Amino acid sequence: MASKKPENMAFEATIEELDTIVTNLENGDLSLEDALKSFERGISLARAGQLKLSDAEQRVNILLQNDDSAPLSDFNTKSEQ
């Protein structure tokens, strides 16, 4: 079964898979080749998770602005640009 692209996964699923990868790497039972593939996947998951957190933080900051005179604009995530 092919893995989903990290950017298409829910944040919670990204963290869950990343946790599994870390556990497998810490156990030390993987071959070098499998460990490198897992590490690469983990890096992709971590980057996607960080992007999702940054986007969420930006949305929260926009919502919490108290300036009623500020012009409204569409929110565009980095993946949409």
Within-domain flag for 21: no
pLDDT band for position 1 (cuts 50, 70, 90): very low
Tell me how far apart the terminal alpha carbons of the chain are, to the nearest angstrom: 30
Within-domain flag for 14: no
Residue with tokens 């070098």: 32
Per the structure, the complete domain to which residue 51 belongs is given by 29-64
Condensed to tens digits (0 to 9), the pLDDT of residues 3-61 reads 889 888 999 999 999 999 999 999 999 999 999 999 999 999 999 999 999 999 998 88
Within-domain flag for 40: yes
For 41, residues 6+ apart whose C-beta sits below 8 A from its C-beta are: 3, 17, 21
Overall pTM > 0.75: no
Distance from CA of residue 11 to its chain's centroid? 6
How far CA 46 is from CA of 9, 30, 67, 70, 78, in Å, comes to 12, 20, 34, 34, 16
